[in-house]
């Protein structure tokens, strides 16, 4: 009888723990194989592929790559793929900052739009907007209306980001300081 009670208590504890994990935004990003829309070949001139995540390691926690997409609006379960690139400077050297294409496949278009809304609502962006800095603009990527974000880095340089959705997929492209090259990388996704 004592063993039965112990097993019952252990089962209840495990069930309660699993319920907590399911509510944790960090647990919402599921490991997956990489999305075929991550460009790996025929990249815009000067860009070099470093890695596609999660790749072969299906145990990689992709949540850290999409933390900015969590917020007041629920995005549900997320299937995440990230392409990481380097770009060549005019002198032939490669820049120290990585360019990225992040694709987040969500259950439907409403969840994708919620993810975009959460991303735009980041505290850093809200502070910059409160100072009347024009960090948001409009762009078109592969026929989709996209939000162009002038991301101000620590050295006060600007890096161009592009954010849009194609149906249930939220797309973030983190380019470099060259607007046209950053747009070329965004277009390379085909989405």
Predicted confidence (pLDDT) at residue 169 exceeds the cutoff of 70: yes
Q: Taking the model in full, what pTM does it have?
A: 0.78
Sign of the alpha-carbon torsion through 174, 177, 180, 185: negative
Q: What is the pLDDT of residues 90-134, one digit of tens each?
A: 777 777 678 999 999 999 999 999 999 999 999 888 888 888 888
First to last CA, the chain: 60
Backbone phi and psi for residue 181, each to the nearest 5 degrees, phi listed first: -70, -35
Three-state secondary structure string covering 40-97: CCCCCCCEEEEEEECCCCCCCCHHHHCHHHCCCCCCCCEEEEEEEEEEECCCCCECCC
The whole-angstrom separation of Cα 108 and Cα 77 is 10
Q: Predicted confidence band at 57 (pLDDT cuts at 50, 70, 90)?
A: low
The whole-angstrom separation of Cα 166 and Cα 187 is 13
């Amino acid at each position: 009888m004592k063993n039965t009670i112990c097993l019952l208590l252990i089962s209840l504890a495990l069930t309660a723990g699993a319920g907590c994990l399911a509510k944790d935004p960090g647990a919402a990003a599921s490991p997956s194989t990489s999305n075929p829309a991550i460009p790996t070949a025929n990249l815009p001139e000067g860009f070099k592929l470093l890695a596609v995540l999660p790749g072969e390691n299906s145990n990689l926690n992709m949540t850290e790559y999409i933390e900015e997409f969590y917020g007041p609006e629920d995005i549900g379960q997320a299937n995440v793929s990230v392409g990481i690139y380097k770009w060549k400077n005019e002198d032939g050297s490669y820049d120290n900052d990585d360019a990225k294409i992040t694709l987040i496949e969500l259950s439907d278009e409403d969840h994708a739009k919620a993810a975009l809304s959460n991303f735009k609502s980041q505290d850093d962006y809200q502070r910059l907007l409160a100072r009347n800095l024009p960090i948001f603009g409009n762009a078109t990527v592969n026929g989709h209306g996209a939000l162009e974000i002038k991301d101000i880095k620590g050295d006060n340089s600007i890096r161009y980001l592009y954010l849009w959705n194609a149906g249930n997929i939220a797309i973030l492209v983190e380019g470099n300081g060259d607007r046209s090259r950053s747009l070329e990388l965004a277009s390379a996704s085909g989405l």
